[in-house]
Structure 1
């Protein structure tokens, strides 16, 4: 069974540039707020319109970008062990589902009698999510697929999960957890612990490693990551009527070893003024808009973070080079997540 939720249908509506519409638009509000701060920043969730999601799928195929293929190999090698701890007939909920490629690997690991009773992918990019969900259901017609177009960090948008009355298990691959700052990561894990009581969360976590490996992963030779970063400005032009000149901004990504994170920025190539939703913003030459962090963890450091959110850390699987890790976190029944 394939279901389209009301949330996903509403989120896919085209945007107009009237002031009344923009005032209700979360991307517009957050971009205006981010451009008004010093230093300037915007949440990376806004990368993922249809074009941004397609570009990220291309990033995942790049030779320099190790996380996707490494995590996939871990899932392929240890999928049966993961399926065993997730349990039979679970309500499988994927946060930030994207193209739904990794869930296919995981689904193949379940025994026929233990398959999930339903799969609920959640993603902010409604159009991309709907298309990916249709493809998955066509390939797996036995699976109930119920996509929810929502921001999974906002519990109020997840009311459709009330229908998931069985044992809930979460799937959060790709080390998306690393895109959060420490407070946001803890907030997400606390939310997940509440939503998944009696079940648990399978989460991919990128590990601390050689900085050169990290530099290459976020500065690929083909420039796909640069196009992905710049697409944020293109999206603002299309959806918000902004006038960013993409030729006058440059992709810049570097590793900060003190904070154990990659930072991505868009650097202004010259002194310029940009107009967004009726507001003017002046950029000095070399000034940046901070678009993403990608934190890297140690295994023990992440287990401590998960425990502080109310989870009981369980098995951990890694590749031979210890580039990446996948963790099972149990959420005890009756728990509420750490306060």
Structure 2
């Protein structure tokens, strides 16, 4: 059986320190904000898996359609011997690319969740005994060092997750990705596309209320980890489209004037009635905008594929 390596590049206490820093900064800012990465404890990850199956939430299905249709083309263009996936999670969608890459030697999934990496990694080495899997427990937004593996390398960042980064964060991220790549390597990037406002908002505010529960889970995480006393039923889930910035925002709106205490930080946070806490930005993209952002980071868009309804796009940039 092929080797499965799991390497931790994050200190054991890094997650707790990052949560404390983000909560302190976000809840004392005006307006108040929290990063979306704190949705994803075990319960949040389960809720997100449910979201991907909802009729209103099209991105997962649309991206999967492209991967099924184009995996062999991606393999032919890149000839990758190493596949690096950022934010790999269960590695489910990536299987289409892995199967098409007949010369693939090493798969490097990168995620902050050790359990997700271990589960997906062990499953892969059972299915593909010839494939080496070197999983990295790492935060790819904070700088990343890749293991020494055969080239050419294909770095995949799927799911439209890049849309959760603000424009300046995207620029820094793409620049850091370019620094990891050598001539002959490639970036496969998933981006959700600008479309009708109604379709976009419904994708983040489903009729069954699963996304609302997912959004409120960030409060449950802070309650558990930092001893806070957020009352989840004292906040409403809000999703709206910002046409100027071309992104969807998820927010939590306080139903009444209230004080939330966070004992681990010695913090008491005042919320006015109707005040909103932003928990996620999900930018939507146009082809020319993606091309320009890639070019600013030193990457050249070489291929652009969409699903049959042109809701989602995968772009491939090959380093010359």
Q: Fold-level match, TM-score > 0.5?
A: yes
Is 2:243 the counterpart of 1:257? yes
1:152 aligns with 140
Deviations 1:274-318 (A, max 9, x none): 111221111111111111111111111111110111001101111
135-144 or 232-241: which moved more?
A: 135-144
Secondary structure at the aligned position of 1:145 is classed as strand
Task: Check conservation: 2:105, 2:150, Cα contact below 8 A.
Answer: no
Hey, what's the Cα distance between the residues in 2 that align with 1:331 and 1:49? 35
Structure-2 change in CA distance of 1:132 and 1:58 (3 Å): farther
Task: Check conservation: 1:48, 1:125, Cα contact below 8 A.
Answer: no
Task: Check conservation: 1:272, 1:284, Cα contact below 8 A.
Answer: yes
Is 2:48 the counterpart of 1:46? no
Secondary structure at the aligned position of 1:264 is classed as strand
Residue 163 (structure 1) aligned to one of 118, 143, 148: 148
2:302 aligns with 314
Hey, what's the Cα distance between the residues in 1 that align with 2:162 and 2:285? 10
Detail structure 1 runs of 4+ shifted over 6 Å in the superposition. Answer: none
After TM superposition, the score normalised by the length of structure 1 is 0.88
Match runs of 1:1-339 below 5 Å: 1-7=3-9, 11=12, 25-89=17-81, 91-111=82-102, 114=103, 116-155=104-143, 158-159=144-145, 161-164=146-149, 166-198=151-183, 199-276=185-262, 277=264, 278-332=266-320
Task: Check conservation: 2:52, 2:60, Cα contact below 8 A.
Answer: yes
Hey, what's the Cα distance between the residues in 2 that align with 1:140 and 1:269? 52
Hey, what's the Cα distance between the residues in 1 that align with 2:86 and 2:76? 20
Q: CA deviation at 1:66?
A: 0.4
Secondary structure at the aligned position of 1:38 is classed as coil
Q: CA deviation at 1:14?
A: 11
- Over aligned residue pairs, what C-alpha RMSD do you find? 1.8
Deviations 1:105-136 (A, max 9, x none): 2112223xx2x211111112333333233333
Name stretches of at least 5 consecutive residues in structure 1 with no aligned partner: 16-21, 333-339
Across the two proteins, how many residue pairs are aligned to each other? Answer: 315
After TM superposition, the score normalised by the length of structure 2 is 0.93
Structure-2 change in CA distance of 1:61 and 1:141 (3 Å): farther
Task: Check conservation: 2:80, 2:151, Cα contact below 8 A.
Answer: no
Name stretches of at least 5 consecutive residues in structure 2 with no aligned partner: none
Hey, what's the Cα distance between the residues in 2 that align with 1:6 and 1:293? 28
Secondary structure at the aligned position of 1:280 is classed as strand
Q: CA deviation at 1:59?
A: 1.1
Hey, what's the Cα distance between the residues in 1 that align with 2:94 and 2:101? 11
